[in-house]
């Protein structure tokens, strides 16, 4: 069982899209997946066909404020092997509400640890969809995770934001989670006709080397249409370029996991 956060403090870079489609592709291959929506916007929730206007104790908020246990809040999606802990807008109040709690960065980790100790380890992967900030919620995800997947939009300023993120990750490693790894960087919204896309790609590959996945996710309108239907693009249109790219990314991910496993 591995906990992976999909993280980037910039909004609109493809975090949620990557969570939904990696989760979907892995679950289609028989892996058991739990998605935790840790963004008050609840986009992963609705993108997987669930409601983000549920009573808040039935969401990740209920877990983090201590009124609910994880087991009670996990919901099934209509897709086999794919469960979700939903989110709603109340989650945005958590930071203020826990202001007096010195250990609040560890709330999610301790809930997950308790859950994993109690239950008969049901999942192969837990994927956490992070909010677009470096706030408490993101720190909670960083503290709880084994590794991080960073979607990087191939646009100007993308790498500057990444430098800031890497500094935060280093701080968390020193102070709160020494075993945290960067699983990889996924280039997203690639536009073949735009010179900037290939420039950002080149810079990212020069700097982060083999951490950058070979697969690049193209800009593809089908990827932006799928969420309004409450399904992953792999279900909405499995042959579109966006789907092909997420399948290919998932293959790369699985190979990487197999190699990590055999090296261990
Ligand atoms: N490769 C892509 N091509 C076209 N649209 C995309 C692509 N990836 C994401 N989108 C769309 O862009 C918007 C932001 O993506 P999203 O995954 O929600 O980003 P984040 O979670 O980082 O804020 C959404 O409307 C999404 O449907
Ligand atoms: Mg998102």
Name the residue among 60, 142, 140, 62 with its Cα closest to residue 105.
Answer: 140
Residues 153, 158, 163, 169: is their CA dihedral positive or negative?
A: negative
User: What is the number of the ligand closest to the CA of 42?
Assistant: 2
Is 70 exceeded by the pLDDT of residue 152? yes
The residue among 211, 223, 216 whose CA lies nearest residue 182 is: 211
Identify how many contiguous H helices and E strands the chain contains and give both numbers.
12, 8
Q: Are 223 and 12 in contact (CB under 8 A)?
A: no
The mean per-residue pLDDT over the stretch 29-46 comes to 98
What pTM, to 2 d.p., does this model score?
Answer: 0.97
How many Å lie between the centroid of ligand 1 and the Cα of residue 221? 10
Q: Quick one: pLDDT band at residue 101, thresholds 50, 70, 90?
A: very high
pLDDT of residue 261: 82
Question: Tens of pLDDT along 38-66?
Answer: 999 999 999 999 999 989 999 999 999 99
- Distance from the alpha carbon of residue 143 to the mean position of ligand 2, in angstroms: 19
Share of the chain above pLDDT 90, in %: 92
Averaged pLDDT, 87-101: 94
How confident is the model over 246-260, as pLDDT tens digits?
999 999 999 999 998
**pLDDT the model gives residue 187:** 98
Domains defined for the chain, CATH in brackets:
2-181 (3.40.50.300)
Nearest CA to ligand 1 atom 8: 14
Q: Average pLDDT of 30-42?
A: 98
State the average pLDDT over residues 95-124.
92
The first and second tokens of residue 263, run together, are 């090296």
- Whether the pLDDT of residue 264 is over 70: the answer is no
For ligand 1, which residues put their CB under 6 angstroms from it? Answer: 11-17, 43, 132, 188-189, 217, 219-220, 223-224, 227, 242
In percent, the amount of the chain with pLDDT more than 70 equals 99
């Amino acid at each position: 069982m591995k906990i992976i956060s999909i993280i980037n403090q910039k909004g609109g870079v493809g975090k949620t899209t990557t969570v939904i489609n990696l989760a979907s592709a892995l679950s289609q291959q028989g892996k058991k997946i739990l998605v935790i929506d840790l963004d008050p916007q609840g986009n992963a929730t609705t993108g997987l066909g669930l409601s983000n206007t549920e009573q808040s104790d039935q969401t990740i908020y209920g877990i983090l404020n201590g009124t609910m246990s994880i087991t009670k809040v996990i919901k099934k999606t209509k897709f086999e092997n794919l469960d979700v802990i939903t989110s709603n807008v109340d989650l945005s109040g958590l930071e203020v509400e826990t202001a007096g709690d010195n250990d609040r960065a560890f709330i999610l980790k301790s809930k997950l640890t308790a859950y994993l100790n109690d239950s008969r380890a049901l999942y192969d992967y837990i994927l956490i969809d992070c909010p677009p900030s470096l706030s408490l919620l993101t720190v909670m995800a960083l503290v709880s995770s084994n590794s991080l997947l960073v979607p990087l939009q191939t646009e100007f300023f993308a790498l500057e934001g990444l430098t800031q993120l890497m500094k935060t990750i280093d701080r968390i490693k020193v102070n709160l989670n020494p075993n945290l790894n960067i699983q990889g960087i996924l280039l997203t919204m690639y536009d073949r006709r735009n010179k900037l896309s290939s420039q950002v790609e080149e810079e990212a590959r020069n700097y982060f080397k083999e951490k950058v996945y070979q697969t690049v996710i193209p800009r593809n309108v089908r990827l932006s249409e799928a969420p309004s239907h409450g399904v992953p693009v792999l279900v909405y249109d499995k042959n579109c370029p966006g789907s092909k790219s997420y399948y290919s990314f998932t293959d790369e991910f699985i190979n990487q996991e197999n190699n990590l496993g055999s090296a261990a």
